[in-house]
Amino acid sequence: MASIPNLNTLGGGRRGHRLRGGRGTTPTHEDATADSVERGRDQVVQQTDHDASSSRMSAVALGYLDDPYARTFFGHDTEIPKRYPIINRGTYVRTKAIDRLVKQFLDVRPTQKKQIVSLGAGSDTRFFRLVDESSASNLHLVYHELDFEANVNRKRTTLRQSAELSRLLKSGGDRGLTYHLHALDLRDLAVKSPPEIPSLDPQLPTLLISECCLCYLPHETAAAVLDYFSMHIPGSMALVLYEPIRPFDAFGKTMVTNLASRGIHLQTLKRYSTLEAQQGRLRLAGLSDGQAARDVLQLYDDDDWMAPEERERIEKLEWLDEVEEWQLLASHYCVAWGWRGEAFGEAWASRGGSSSIRNIQMI
């Protein structure tokens, strides 16, 4: 990892790369070096999926989450990792909070066909859990997952090799839940003539999910990716994101240094460093009807998000003596969501949606 230079000093990024190739000039030695540095950097980002998948596996194995598909994507032959209790609890809160926002969207106007686009989906299992959960409902859903080719290929292989997942995909498809897995570098959406995403239906109310993904892009690129969807989907659209915040205090600085030592640079972290900045970003992205944000600690401590009996169950799973560390860690990650369109207003305004904007602005 030490050989990977500071990514923030590289400049240009993907746009520069595309220009180098696009002008028809002979690539220079510097171009080749820059390309190989960029590839190394991308690999580090791609491998963060293994971290996410390991954390999910740990939380599932210990009973925090009920996810029958985590093991399949993690790998049956790989030893189950054991994360620290505070990490398991964080994984639990993050997953449940996003699940709840997704469910509220799907439950509103239940007969309306809807679309979800998961940016940097990695080994995420949400679609497969939704197929299970929706067996009794008449949900119509188009679900897209986007990630780098390397990660998509791995997921495709797992899907092909798992009879259970193949069956699930088929039964979901028969009931109107269609799944599309796209190999796509999101930065390619941030150029002048971006590609079309096959089967993306611009007429459907669309929920974008970025669970620790857009933070890996330069902030202009992350904003341009959101612009891409905003321009392609004229009607109801929303984004739910999960990512770190507060990089400037002592804990935040340590978090940034630790990640940097692994070659990981969260490029939007300083720009969207607070809950308010996250909400402002959502507003600027055209999600003008409502924005809200909560850090993980707020979500965990709020009875409206976490039923007291569920909190009690979680606290019995593992002894957590580092309460202060939990509070620090949990206050450095947030879930933020913003929307335009009535479907999302109905889904989110009454429970933790626009009403929480007022709460948040008082913090």
Ligand X SMILES: C[S@@+](CC[C@H](N)C(=O)[O-])C[C@H]1O[C@@H](n2cnc3c(N)ncnc32)[C@H](O)[C@@H]1O
185 is in an annotated binding site: yes
Nearest to 209 by CA among 193, 186, 183: 186
Under the binding rule (CB under 6 A), the answer on residue 291 touching ligand X is no
* Of residues 104 and 221, the one with the C-beta less far from ligand X: 221
| In the complex, minimum distance from the CB of residue 63 to ligand X, in angstroms, rounded to a whole number | 19
Question: How far does Cα 76 stand from its chain's mean position?
Answer: 24
Find the part of the chain contacting ligand X (CB under 6 A) among 118-126, 156-164, 280-288, 300-308. 118-126
Contact, 191 vs 223, CB < 8 A? no
CA distance 131 to 166: 12
CA distance 233 to 190: 16
Restricting to residues 136-175, name those near ligand X by CB under 6 A: 146-148, 151
With CB under 6 A as the contact rule, the residue among 57, 59, 102, 121 that binds ligand X is: 121
Restricting to residues 222-261, name those near ligand X by CB under 6 A: none
Under the binding rule (CB under 6 A), the answer on residue 15 touching ligand X is no
Restricting to residues 27-46, name those near ligand X by CB under 6 A: 45-46
Find the part of the chain contacting ligand X (CB under 6 A) among 73-81, 114-122, 314-322, 338-346. 114-122
CA distance 170 to 164: 10
The structure tokens listed for 52 are 């996410």
* Of residues 225 and 349, the one with the C-beta less far from ligand X: 225
211 is in an annotated binding site: yes
With CB under 6 A as the contact rule, the residue among 7, 15, 48, 86 that binds ligand X is: 48
With CB under 6 A as the contact rule, the residue among 59, 65, 212, 226 that binds ligand X is: 212
Phi, psi torsion values for 200, nearest 5 degrees: -70, 125
x-or-dash pattern for ligand X, window 73-112, by CB under 6 A? ----------------------------------------
Residues in the interface with ligand X (CB under 6 A) total: 21
* Of residues 10 and 357, the one with the C-beta less far from ligand X: 10
Under the binding rule (CB under 6 A), the answer on residue 216 touching ligand X is yes
With CB under 6 A as the contact rule, the residue among 52, 117, 264, 299 that binds ligand X is: 52
13 is in an annotated binding site: no
| In the complex, minimum distance from the CB of residue 169 to ligand X, in angstroms, rounded to a whole number | 19
Find the part of the chain contacting ligand X (CB under 6 A) among 169-177, 181-189, 196-204, 353-361. 181-189
Under the binding rule (CB under 6 A), the answer on residue 49 touching ligand X is yes
With CB under 6 A as the contact rule, the residue among 35, 132, 185, 346 that binds ligand X is: 185
With CB under 6 A as the contact rule, the residue among 139, 186, 200, 204 that binds ligand X is: 186
Phi, psi torsion values for 123, nearest 5 degrees: -90, 20
C-alpha torsion angle, residues 264, 267, 268, 271 (rounded to 10): 120
The structure tokens listed for 156 are 């495709």
Q: Which residues bind to ligand X, rule: CB under 6 A?
A: 45-46, 48-49, 52, 120-122, 124, 146-148, 151, 185-187, 211-213, 216-217
Binding residues for S-adenosyl-L-methionine: 94, 120, 185-186, 211
